[in-house]
Structures are given as C-alpha cells and as structure tokens.
Amino acid sequence: MINLHVTDEFSTLKAVVLGIADSNGPTPKLEDTYDPKSAEHIKAGTYPKERDMVQEMELVFQILSKYNVKVYRPEKISNYNQIFSRDIAFVIEDKMIISNILPDRNKEINAIEHVWSKVDKNNLINLPEEAHIEGGDVMPWGDYIFVGTYRGKDYADYITARTNMTAVKCLQDLFPSKKVVSFNLRKSNTIARDNALHLDCCFQPIGKGKCIIHKEGFLEKNEYEWLIDLFGKENCFHISKDEMYSMNSNILSISPKVIISEKNFKRLNNWLRSQGFIVEEVSYSEISKQEGLLRCSTMPLIRD
C-alpha cells in the first residue's frame, strides 16, 4: 500500500510519480495541440525531440534518487505523450484525486494504475464529470488549498482553461476544514506569453515562507494582492513575462531547503541561493517548449 500524505508544496519529498518521454510520438499536427507554446514551436520547427526530453527527465530522476525519493514511472504507451504526470492526478492529505482532464488524455490515467491501485479505495476520489480539473492548478499549503481557475462565461472557448468553479466547489466539499481559495487566471489559446495554463505557470510557494509569482498571470488584481499580503512582499520573487514564458515558477521543491530548477533561470537561481536554498540545476528547456516544466512532470505522493 501507498500511504499518501501531501499537505504543501515543499515538505521533504518521499515518493513521486515522474512522467516519461519514451515513445512520445511524432511532432503533433498543429490542430491537435492543447496549448499555444507547443503550437508556436511546431510552426517554428523547434518542437522538442524525444531523445532530448528522455535525457532531460533522466537528469531529474538521478537527482530524485540522490535524495532518496521513491520514483514511480507510468507504464509506457506507444507514441503517446506521458510527460506531464501532474495533470492526471494529485494528492491532498491522504486522498488522491483523479483529474477530469482533456478526453484525449484518458489513457495516461490507466498508465499509472500500478500506483493508484496501491491506494486505499476510500482515498481514491473521482470527481463528477462536469468538474474539470488538472493538478497544475491545485496547490495545498497548510490550512489552504490554492486553485487556479477561469471564471469567464467564455470558459468553453478556451482549450487552455482546465479547471472550472464546479471543481473548486468539489474540493471545498471534500476538504471542509481547509480554506479553498481560487484565482482567476489569464488565458489565451494563441499567445503563450499571455497564457497562464495552470496556477503553477504564474505562482508557486516554496520553503522558508517564500513564493515565486507573476503578477500578470492573475486577472483579478485583488487576488494577486491577497497572495502578496499572505506571504509578505519581501518573501515574493516576482518574475517577468519572459520568465513566466520560460516557466520560472514551475520548479520542484524536494524539501524546505532543496529545489530542482532549470539551469537557465539565472536570476531566480541566484535569488534562491541568496535566500539559503540548495539549488539542483538541470537542463529542462526542451520539455518547457510544451508549456510545462518540473512541477508539471512530477506528481508527489508522499511528503514527510
């Protein structure tokens, strides 16, 4: 059995699902893309190659192993993108919530059956079909659960809107003792620099009471300011639109002191070290071309 336990984004990581890039399939057709950044790289002829992504994920596997983290991998599906394991399920406390993701991606859930079959059935949660949600939008933080959403009446027009208010309400019902706080995110189907695909594309709490944040990812100024007040301005590292585009907020905390980050995030990594963090740098720039990075490709199961 796997005794799930996740109450925040940075406690010491003990077990995690890390996606795979093996047999990732050919470059998708433009009309089959789910996000504007992938589309951008398909048009430019710079869509990432499988061998490069496999190599990048292997570096993350090695670092996780170095810190004695138990790593689970999905079963391989031929010619299928299985990199972003955070999308398909997520853990809060001792519950695993299976995401209601884009229908084309349902096979990914079956590919981690060897993981969720080891979870107590009472702790395995399937939300109603009308509750759209993906793990990149969900962040437990002590007494809070932060959730990225899109509240516009044109929700259905955005393939980049992945979590709706129905799902936010479901989380509040599931965790009545928590304060579930939703954030209305900026969406674009066509311009990657104007699109916060998930909450972790514009915000992430890390250890020592600090966070990484991109102001323009939030549609509601008061919701952004609420986070600044909660963490304290001096504890918030603000990233620019270009840094958001490069996925600077999408790093992975292994513990309150240790963070895996992309080696090209020079300004962020220097700041993290200045705040006393140990930064394990990896090359992950090819995977980032699909509008996801380190947090997106990992799904924590147990944090100590």
Average pLDDT on 47-67 reads 96
- pLDDT band of residue 203 (cuts 50, 70, 90) is very high
In angstroms, rounded to a whole number, what is the distance separating the alpha carbons of residues 168 and 270? 35
Instruction: Please say whether the beta carbons of 183 and 149 come within 8 A.
Output: yes
Residue 30 identity? L
In this structure, what token pair is assigned to residue 6? Answer: 């996740």
Say whether pLDDT at 242 is over 80. Answer: yes
In this structure, what token pair is assigned to residue 104? Answer: 């084309």
Instruction: Please say whether the beta carbons of 89 and 298 come within 8 A.
Output: no
Rounded mean pLDDT of the chain?
A: 95
Say whether pLDDT at 103 is over 90. Answer: no
Query: Which residues have a Cβ under 8 Å from the Cβ of 76 and sit 6 or more positions away?
Result: 20, 22, 23, 82, 111
pTM listed for this prediction: 0.95
Bridge-based pairing state of the strands 211-213 and 203-205: antiparallel
**pLDDT given at position 35:** 85
- pLDDT band of residue 204 (cuts 50, 70, 90) is very high
Domains, the chain, with CATH or none: 13-303 (3.75.10.10)
**pLDDT given at position 76:** 95
pLDDT tens-digit readout, 29-42: 888 887 888 888 99
In angstroms, rounded to a whole number, what is the distance separating the alpha carbons of residues 161 and 127? 17
In this structure, what token pair is assigned to residue 264? Answer: 């090209």
In angstroms, rounded to a whole number, what is the distance separating the alpha carbons of residues 249 and 194? 15
**pLDDT given at position 28:** 84
Cα 43 to chain centroid, rounded: 25
Beta-bridged to residue 238, according to DSSP, are: 213
**pLDDT given at position 104:** 72
Q: 134: closest CA among 183, 197, 224, 195?
A: 197
3-class SS letters over the chain: CCCCEECCCCCCEEEEEECECCCCCCCCCHHHCCCHHHHHHHHHCCCCCHHHHHHHHHHHHHHHHHCCCEEECCCCCCCCCECCHHHHEEEEECEEEECCCCHHHCHHHHCCHHHHCCCCHHHEEECCCCCCCCHHHEEEECCEEEEEECCCCCHHHCCCCCCCHHHHHHHHHHCCCCEEEEEEECCCCCCHHHCCCCHHHCEEECCCCCEEECHHHECCHHHHHHHHHHHCHHHEEECCHHHHHCCCCCCEECCCCEEEEECCCHHHHHHHHHCCCEEEEECCCCHHHHCCCCCCCEEEEEEC
